[in-house]
Structure 1
Amino acid sequence: MNPSTTMNVPKIHGCNCLQPLISHISKNVKPTSPTLYLKSKLCHISSATNLYPYAQFSTFRTDPKLKNVRVSEIGAPLWIQNDENEGENTLYSEDLTMNGNVYQKTLRLVECSMFAALGGLVYILSSSLAIENYFGCFFALPIVFSSMRWDIVAGRKTMVATATLLLVLAGPIKAITYLLMHGFLGLAMGSLWRSKTSWGVSIFVSAIVRAAGALGYVVMYSFLIRENILALITINIHASATFILSSLGFLAIPSMDVIYSIFGTLLLINCCFFVFLLHLLYALFFSRLGMKESLRLPKWFAKAI
């Protein structure tokens, strides 16, 4: 074998220890494994040339003070992260923080869903147990709370989700009744409170919304039972007014326009008192939750609480 050929043979660490055993095996036994056969041939070549009586190579030792050791300076890295990927990962990590956009949207969706489920469950239980009149003041609270906590869009989503839940669980009558008597009222109050409107305007507008919902409720049930409930109410008011006037010595009979005016005034006064009580109750509730700064309270009420 030429010297040029022997110069290309690699040095194998530990071959001086395994050389007699492998040479003996290569002479007597035919190796069955390709790896073992290759090792035996390499050791046989190195022993035949006698250029390296002891197959050695320099061991790689590192300074214990060095923490990072570079194996090769020529090899290219297996994976390179681009600047665009770094920017996208940074944006994703920022969105998942407490103040991130994705986290806030997810939290708003979860809270609106929980408030809608709570409002629908309480309304169904109250209707089933015939205690709706006792808990009627709390049905609009989830919608107002969502509007004050997030925005008007969140309050509207809570109202729609509650109505959809009632539509699936209790039917369309319960869903429409909830919207007319409590849903639109809660949305109006939440919108006005969110924009920090004065209590006078808020009570008046909310009372009109409540009165319109009550009229719609009467019309709906009049259609369902095939009876004009509004006409029965006005007839009773007409009879009561005629009796009162005759008892006072007046022989006048009020017209139907006067009766409708009396009916509308009484309905609006009733709704104003109801909405005023809701303002007091909800303002006290939000103040105890630490949301007093986001409310525009009258001076007398702010001093009272």
Structure 2
Amino acid sequence: MLPSATMNILKVHGCYRLQPPISHLSQNIHPSSLTTHHKSKLCHVSSPSIHSSNPQFRISRTNSNLRNVRVSEIGAPLWTQKDDKQDNSGSPEDLTMNGEAYQKTLRLVECSMFAALGGLAYILSSSLAIENYFGCFFALPIVFSSMRWDIVAGRKTMVATATLLLVLAGPIKALTYLLMHGFLGLAMGSLWRSKANWGVSIFTSAIVRAIGAMGYVVMYSFLIRENILALITINIHASATFILTSLGFLTIPSMNLIYAIFGTLLLLNCCFFVFLLHLLYALFFTRLGMKASLRLPKWFAKAI
């Protein structure tokens, strides 16, 4: 009775198939081919014969034999968790307060904010015709960026402000800002960043301001098709002739003397303006707690 039950269990579609032992397979067989071999050789046992003949029969020979299969060569994985940890190990450190990425992002954000503030103040002052009253503050964002970070940050602030004015107000406003305030702020910020003496800083900044003023006059002379510089020198010549005649000197000054007087007056005007900017900006930075980064004269340091 037992042999007949066993024969019914192993009867698959009217044929008997014998499986070779898996432990005798070659070790060089790939796991995918081995799986295909088992799928083709294993027989599907009909459920009625199992339940009717011997329900306690278990097919566990295949699982036990599969444990003895070995693969000869296994390729190295292309990605490991260790490599991923090494790639991302520096990212948390860069996001800290002293990280390089954090400092670069903070400098970029501050330069953008200062550029937007300077451009907005210049546009509003020009629109409301109060530019002469707030002209001393237009160079402050550039100087503050240079003192807060470095000279490169001050130059980026100046370029960003000029670009914003070019887009919003046109090229005339952008060039006027650069000639009258932009280059002056960059010169002052660079000299203060290098802790230059106030005498050198005032004289150099005054020269930059005077050159910017001359460029401003030339630009508007080209726009209105009129030589404004010639008109200024003619008026100076007439004023000097009238003064000399009223004093009893019957002489006419030469044009070279007139040019020298004009240059001297322009340089004095720029020196006084830059000196007032030095006083105002030094007081502002001192109130912000940046006194250690400034090189102040002794008389001004004692006064504040």
Question: Letter of the aligned partner of 1:207 in structure 2?
Answer: A
Displacement of 1:284 after TM fit? 0.4
**Aligned mates of 1:251, 1:91 — CA distance in 2:** 82
Instruction: Tell me, yes or no, if structure 1 residue 116 matches structure 2 residue 115.
Output: yes
Question: Letter of the aligned partner of 2:184 in structure 1?
Answer: L
- Listed as ranges, the matches of 1:15-94 within 5 Å are 45-46=55-56, 81-82=81-82, 84-94=83-93
TM-score by length of 2: 0.75
Question: Letter of the aligned partner of 1:81 in structure 2?
Answer: Q
**Aligned mates of 1:45, 1:289 — CA distance in 2:** 91
Deviations 1:253-279 (A, max 9, x none): 110000000000000000000000000
- Secondary structure at the aligned position of 2:81 is classed as coil
Displacement of 1:45 after TM fit? 2.7
**Aligned mates of 2:240, 2:84 — CA distance in 1:** 79
**Aligned mates of 1:80, 1:169 — CA distance in 2:** 53
Deviations 1:73-121 (A, max 9, x none): xxxxxx9521x43333221111111111111001100000000000000
**Aligned mates of 1:176, 1:274 — CA distance in 2:** 20
**Aligned mates of 2:166, 2:277 — CA distance in 1:** 26
Please name the residue that 2:261 is paired with.
262
Please name the residue that 2:250 is paired with.
251
Please name the residue that 1:61 is paired with.
none
- Secondary structure at the aligned position of 1:187 is classed as helix
- Secondary structure at the aligned position of 1:104 is classed as helix
**Aligned mates of 2:80, 2:173 — CA distance in 1:** 61
Please name the residue that 2:33 is paired with.
none
TM-score by length of 1: 0.75
Determine what percentage of the aligned residue pairs are the same residue: 84
Deviations 1:118-153 (A, max 9, x none): 000000000000000000000000000000000000
- Listed as ranges, the matches of 1:1-305 within 5 Å are 45-46=55-56, 81-82=81-82, 84-305=83-304
- Secondary structure at the aligned position of 2:249 is classed as coil
**Aligned mates of 2:214, 2:80 — CA distance in 1:** 69
Displacement of 1:246 after TM fit? 1.0
In structure 2, the gaps of 5 or more residues are 7-46, 59-78
- Secondary structure at the aligned position of 1:90 is classed as coil
Please name the residue that 2:26 is paired with.
none
**Aligned mates of 1:133, 1:87 — CA distance in 2:** 58
Please name the residue that 2:21 is paired with.
none
**Aligned mates of 2:186, 2:172 — CA distance in 1:** 20
Deviations 1:188-236 (A, max 9, x none): 0000000000000000000000000000000000111111110010001
**Aligned mates of 2:155, 2:134 — CA distance in 1:** 21
- Secondary structure at the aligned position of 2:98 is classed as coil
Residues paired across the two proteins, number = 238
Question: Letter of the aligned partner of 1:199 in structure 2?
Answer: W
**Aligned mates of 2:87, 2:229 — CA distance in 1:** 63
- Secondary structure at the aligned position of 1:45 is classed as coil
**Aligned mates of 2:87, 2:296 — CA distance in 1:** 45
What CA RMSD, in Å, does the superposition of the two structures yield over aligned residues?
2.0
- Secondary structure at the aligned position of 1:97 is classed as coil
